[in-house]
Chain A
Amino acid sequence: MTITFTVNGQPRTVTTDPQRPLLEVLREDLRLSGTKFGCGEGQCGACTVIIGGKSVKSCITPVAKARQQTILTIESLTKDGQLHPVQEAFLAENGFQCGYCTPGLIMAVAGLLSEKPKPTEEEIRSCLEGHLCRCCGYPNILKAVRRAAADARR
């Protein structure tokens, strides 16, 4: 099956089995390795990308569902060497340990802030609950997310 979508602003076409997880198409066909595999069951959030403005777990999304959609991955956030404010916030607060969950978290938070520039604590919490950091670096991640939310409110 031939599937066309827009990835990070570029029109892309892939010919592939429609059942393949979007994550694998991004990583193996388009060589966008910033999006990670963590569980394959939608439980850890390491594979989070933004499709049509909403954050989505790409490991449980068949590529066919992304047809004609606009997809953003972590690689889209840095523009001309300028970090996205959420990336800046994670850097400032050291919101990572091994860093494997980081791209997924940053995409989820970037998605949240673009949908809701003034998220409540409740909304922040519910956005993060779908993400695992096995290093358990949660305190610094929370600081980074609150910093990003405060910056977005300004």
Chain B
Amino acid sequence: MKTDFPTHQNVAPEYDEPVDPMNYEFGLNRRNFVQVLGAGLLIVVSPTPALAQRSGGRDGSDRNRAVATRIHIGQDGAITVLTGKVEMGQGSRAELTQAAAEELQVPVSRIQMVMGDTGFVPDDGTTAGSRTTPSTVPAVRQGAAAARNLLIELACQRWGVERNTVEVRDGKITHATSRRELTYADLAQSGDAAKAFEKTIPSDVTVTPVAEWKVLGTSVPRPNRRDLVTGAHRFPSDIVRPGMLYGKVLRPPSYGAKLISIDLAPAQAMKDVVVVQDGPFVGVAAPTSFRAREALEAIAKTATWEPAPHPSSIEIFEYLKGRARDGVPQNPFADELAAAHKAVRQTYHAAYVQHAPLEPRAAAAEWNDGKLTVWTGTQGPFGYHSELARTFRLPTDRVRVIVPDFGSGFGGKHSGEAAVEAARLAQAAGRPVLLRWTREEEFTWAYFRPAAVIEAEASLDAQGALTSWHFVNINSGGSAVDTPYRAGKARSRFVSSEPPLRQGSYRTLAATANNFARECFMDELAAAAGADPLAFRLAHLENPRLRAVLETAAQRFNWKERVKNKAPGVGVGLACGTEKGSYVAACAEIEIDHSQSAIVVKHVCEVFECGAILNPDNLLAQVQACIIMGLGPALREEMRFADGKMLNPFFRKYLVPRFSDVPVLDIHLLNRPDLPSAGGGETPIIAIAPAVANAVFHATGTRVRAMPIRLPGMKEA
């Protein structure tokens, strides 16, 4: 087996990047299905689900998918909805349940959602890029509406009545004039229903208009919440299989180090310990994780390594800039700049940061008759599925990936390391193996939000209007790289580099760095133009949705008064932005705490708009969480490394936001029932860091052009 622990690899450079197509075969049979979902739940199995799988769009669309691939109705009336999306705390389980309940016209309690089990669910793509709301919610609604229509048709056929003479409510179809009724369960018991559900979900099936929503648009809580508070929910790291061992994998002492030699004998001599070496992969499995650690430590001592050169975080920005692919592009509007009333040039930096999901990577793997089953926390169950099939040279129908609701991701769990490792150990041990990464492994060997160097240049005319704009992101990505402002001649671009760390997705990925640089730069341009930061933005902003959030935030925050009435050591700043079809603006008040040499964020007013709101409480929780999470990389979080080693791979040295960091939050959600719903779990993060940096300038007169934002003399966290 080949296991890569690469350092020069981009696992997921952009959320929206097309995923490799896969030849997925849906090897489903009725017996298995009943075993998993419980007897009596199943009414139909489409004879052609494999075809439906292949035809379904990876973007979550249900083109040519049979109704049965999405919706099942049990003989007891229990409704099972199948989705390839996963739940990691962002609220997809509740919102997809609402989507199905709305169209099937049943209470949410009647819906059981089966998520992220590649043995049974359709591939809805990776749970990323805020795509669940705009892609999977509509797909589930269409599947559910198609199912409802089929059941209504069956009832009408049975009664010999016209369709417009029946009504459906609470899972019951009623013909009022003849006082007859049939429940979904009644219909599910007939073979007709099974046959009907083989039909393809029509692409033009009508879904319930927003004005008639009864379940969508309301604050439905997470369906399995009771198990979260009792501790009964089994996260991936809680999975137990019969005879299961605990695994541990050898990591290099530094990035890029090559294993030269190792003596496995000390671990092989230990009772009940399985040792595996397969190329550079070395791991052990033992009856307890303590024993596995002891065994691994015993052989790690014998290992010799050849180190590789690796840059340090102190020099990272020069390193990335120096390796920009084809060099840093020249500003094509140099003439404009030379002739301008004023020209402004600045460079912004953003450090490498970690997602640090509270549940580290974990997987349980089990082999049975040459079939591999893994339970793990991943945002991409089908991507993972293919990765395992490729790695172990298995036909895809011999792999099953099950994703229990897991302990957060934030874009950090697109990849499949723990499952590949656990599967390799389980293969050697002939027993199931659970592997859970340590916090240090997570901080060192998982992938990172890329560091960024951003160079911005713009010119202003005598009236203070922008006449040209050039914006280059080196290394971190193209999300939200384009300016939403009217800036005259404008070009914005992303240039890749040679990152020394594994890089990947994060909440909005590069949009945080791009929006930080742009919104800080806009503040500098406003100052150069002698204009108020709010007025300067509005003068260059046409998009009515972005204007609306900015104006509402400024008004709620009382911007005009607060920017004028400045107290010593206190400052206010604002920022706005758009990404993934949603709009955000934030105003922040900060205070310089000289005693602790710290920037304290006191008050944040944020306004967010993402079209028609599906679940107000869940959206509010996501917006709050984005603001608070965003304060981490804004003020303290940064991975520090030297000589190929992480210097701060611990929570005591990598300071993520805690309770005491929570500012006073005034959050306003602008509902736009007239617009399609966009996802809301990411974009609310992009306004907070620049708003804070701009407030720091207002308080101190110092521009800080880097994340984390540190004033001169302030120490590293």
Residues of A within 8 A of B (CB): 16-17, 19-21, 24, 27-29, 31, 33-41, 43-44, 46, 73-75, 77-78, 83, 87, 90-91, 94, 96-103, 106, 125, 128-129, 131-142
Contacts and interface: CB of A to CB of B under 8 A. Distances in A.
A128 B355 CA distance: 21
B240 A31 contact: yes
Given A35-B231, A41-B439, A132-B656, A98 B360 contact: no
B288 A94 contact: no
Contacts of A131: 658-659
B228 A102 contact: yes
Q: Which 6 residue pairs across A and B have the least CB separation, nearest first?
A: A34-B231, A98-B89, A100-B407, A99-B228, A97-B89, A74-B231
A63 to B, nearest CB: 10
B197 interface: no
Interface of B: 88-91, 221-222, 225-226, 228-235, 237-238, 240, 246, 288-290, 355-360, 405-408, 410, 436, 438-439, 617, 621, 624-626, 628-629, 650-652, 656-660, 662, 665
Nearest to B237: A37
Contacts of A31: 240
A140 B660 contact: no
Given A74-B231, A133-B358, A142-B662, 11 more contacts: A20-B288, A39-B651, A78-B230, A96-B222, A97-B408, A98-B408, A99-B233, A102-B228, A125-B659, A129-B658, A139-B624
Given A78-B230, A100-B235, A94 B621 contact: yes
Residue with the greatest number of chain A CB neighbours at <10 A, chosen from B226, B231, B438, B657: B231
Given A37-B360, A37-B436, A137 B652 contact: no
A43 B233 contact: no
B340 to A, nearest CB: 42
A129 B628 CA distance: 15
Contacts, number: 164
Contacts of B290: 16-17, 19-21, 24
Contacts of B621: 94, 97, 137, 139-140
Nearest to A90: B229
A24 to B, nearest CB: 6
A75 B229 CA distance: 10
B629 A34 contact: no
B438 A98 contact: no
Nearest to B407: A100
A125 B659 CA distance: 8
Contacts of B240: 31, 33
Given A83-B229, A97-B408, A139 B360 contact: no
13 contacts: A28-B246, A34-B232, A77-B230, A87-B230, A96-B228, A96-B229, A99-B89, A129-B659, A134-B410, A135-B89, A137-B625, A140-B624, A142-B662
Given A78-B230, A134-B656, A98 B405 contact: yes
Contacts of B656: 132, 134
A94 B221 CA distance: 7
B617 A134 contact: no
A94 B229 CA distance: 10
A98 B231 contact: no
Nearest to B667: A139
Nearest to A32: B231
A147 B628 CA distance: 22
